[in-house]
Amino acid sequence: MQPSPTYVHIMHEDAVMTAGLRAILGEHAEFAVSTHAVCPHALSMAHVIVADYQGAIAASRQMPQDRYSHAPRVLIVTQFDKEWEVRMAMDSGVHGYLLQGCSAEELVKAVRQLGQGLRYLSEAVTRCVADSLSRETLTGRETDVLRLLAQGCCNKSIARELGIGVGTVKTHVKGLMSKLDATARTHAVVVATQRGLISAVQRAGSHLGRAQNNGFHNPSLLSLHS
């Protein structure tokens, strides 16, 4: 008697990725594959959902987190590989994480394991999570200070923005630089960006704001942040 197939529902925002995922998984008789664009009602039968980063997080947050529930398992397939991005996905309840450069064999392995009720992280993502666990995490206030550092704010501006003393700001800067193993404020921002603790958009937004304050206007920049 043939075992029941694993129902896989693809909800990736990228049409080309969707086609590729469907083609690869469709070659295996153990999977019954559907796509959201063509057959959205198939979601109700899914054992495994394969989605892009934002779609997977949204789907995971809507699923019951009870380990005994029969909710579908959620697999991310994305190009996002920063520490913060991976950790946020895991904290949101995602069960699997693959990078878009993975092999067809790894994709099949990941879907198979999720279908069996297990988890799957690609090797690169596993290293990222392991590295992040070995580092000291920034406090909420250190993260606030780091965000304002990335926007080019001086200690006085940071103190005014956060409603704290300049001496306290200096303490937070010293603490976050130590945790990031940074030698200067700008170095701390670079390291934090590389680790995904702050985004390039946050940094670019500060330059846009200063340009506008100086009387400059660039429609193309504005469209990036609208």
Query: Within a domain: residue 208?
Result: yes
Contact 7, 45 (CB under 8 A): yes
Residue 205: pLDDT over 50? no
Looking at the structure, tell me whether residues 119 and 168 fall in a common domain: no
* pLDDT-derived band at 84, boundaries 50, 70, 90: confident
Q: Where in the sequence is the domain holding 178, given as residue range(s)?
A: 140-224
pLDDT-based confidence at residue 88 (cuts at 50, 70, 90): confident
Tell me the CATH number at 204: 1.10.10.10
Hey, how many other C-beta atoms are within 10 angstroms of the C-beta on 12?
A: 26
What CATH number should be reported for the domain holding residue 128? 3.40.50.2300
- Contact residues for 54 (Cβ-Cβ < 8 A; gap 6+): 13
Are 32 and 116 contained in the same domain? yes
When divided into structural domains, the chain yields a total of 2
Read out DSSP for 53-102?
HHHHHHHHHHS---TT--PPEEEEEES---HHHHHHHHHTT--EEEETT-
Each residue's pLDDT tens digit, 142-182: 989 999 999 999 999 999 999 999 999 999 999 999 988 88
User: Does residue 1 form part of some domain?
Assistant: no
pLDDT digits (tens, 9 = 90+) for 120-153: 999 888 876 766 655 677 888 998 999 999 999 9
Residue ending a domain, choose from 133, 166, 185: 133
Looking at 100, 133, 166, which one is the last position of a domain?
Answer: 133
| 5, 184, 189, 205 from 173: Cα distances, Å | 54, 10, 11, 21
* Percentage of the residues of the chain whose pLDDT score is greater than 70: 81
How many whole angstroms separate alpha carbon 179 and alpha carbon 175?
6
pLDDT band at 51 (very low <50, low <70, confident <90, very high): very high
Query: Looking at 133, 154, 185, which one is the last position of a domain?
Result: 133
**Percent of the chain residues topping a pLDDT of 90:** 54
* Residue 67 belongs to a domain: yes
CB 151 within 8 A of CB 202: yes
* pLDDT(86) > 50: yes
pLDDT band at 67 (very low <50, low <70, confident <90, very high): low
Amino acid 113: pLDDT = 96
Name the average pLDDT for the chain. Answer: 82
Whether residue 69 has pLDDT greater than 80: no
Residues 43, 20 within the same domain: yes
Q: What is the mean pLDDT of residues 52-64?
A: 89
Distance (Å, rounded) from C-alpha 106 to C-alpha 163?
Answer: 50
pLDDT of amino acid 65:
61
